[in-house]
Amino acid sequence: MSALKVLVVGGAGYIGSHTAKALAHAGHQPIVLDDLRAGHRWAVRWGPLVEADIADADTVRGALEDHAIDAVVHFAAHASVGESMQVPRKYFANNLANTLTLLGAMLDIGVKDIVFSSSCAVYGHPRRLPIGEGHPLAPVSPYGESKLAVERVLHWYQHSYGLRYAALRYFNAAGADPEGEVGEVHDPETHVIPLALDVALGRRPWLDVFGSDYPTPDGTAVRDYVHVSDLAQAHLLALEAVRSDGAPLRLNLGAGRGASVLEIVRAVEEASGQPVRYELASRRPGDPAELVADARAAQRRLGWRPERSSIDSVVASAWNWHRLGPERGA
């Protein structure tokens, strides 16, 4: 595939910044569009930054035109299941309505290729494990509903306007760039691995473990953790596939195995050499007991392999990032 100019929407964030790096290393030019409310200026290292909100259709259209964009990779979204249960209007406004603005600008300019950051939350409570793409789509949170709504829009835009798309359903993104250039920084932080690492580093007193009575081996929730650099590579491969044959893609991205919260605690203790104090708390609304991906379709369609996604590798890379202090890039 020839070199492309790719608009990375939300590219100053966690997965977006890793994907911008992967695009640049593959010979493409990432142009980041981000309002920096959740992203970080220091994470934009491989191309220019357009500081803008995707709700501003004129600015988005201008970025597409001014940079002669060939394709879009779209990450910009609110992504907390718990928060979405409390303020669903925030999630539908940003995740759905603002995506419609982005897609409208793309169609106005004639940009027809997009890779969309979806989520395993589109499946809701699993009826069988591992979860394949044929599993019923039954979200149990406004976050999951907002992602599924965009997938349905993409389907109809492909049918009516010739939009070419890939919707990548992540399981739990985790870890950090192996070279230490970018990593995970959220405010507030809600992800278990960085929270556990903060306990090991003495930055917080304990880790809240939400739910200890799930029907899992140790009673805590089980999730499929996939390394963020593996996710970034999947976006690159998905873009190549969309450009080459135009067939819509809806694919799971996961390691294909689960780890419980207490297993994460033990892995962090092993990587850091420090104890991780935790306290058991009630389950959070909308949290399934176990989520594990069947990602064989991504392996078959894209040739993708989650090579860095063992729990030991994920936690070790995150530890290397967090112990040095993400604020070094701020």
- Residues carrying an active site annotation: 143
Closest CA to 94 of 63, 130, 56, 66: 56
The C-alpha atoms of residue 329 and residue 169 are separated, in whole angstroms, by 29
C-alpha distance from residue 240 to each of 2, 70, 94, 105, 288 (Å): 10, 12, 27, 22, 33
Pair 180, 320: CB distance under 8 Å? yes
The DSSP bridge partners found for residue 164 are 113
Closest CA to 177 of 311, 314, 7, 49: 314
The C-alpha atoms of residue 180 and residue 320 are separated, in whole angstroms, by 7
Burial class (CB in 10 A: 0-12, 13-18, 19+), 198: middle
The C-alpha atoms of residue 67 and residue 31 are separated, in whole angstroms, by 8
- HSE-up (13 A, CA, CB side) for residue 11: 28
Sign of CA dihedral 279, 205, 315, 301: positive
The C-alpha atoms of residue 146 and residue 235 are separated, in whole angstroms, by 20
The C-alpha atoms of residue 330 and residue 327 are separated, in whole angstroms, by 5
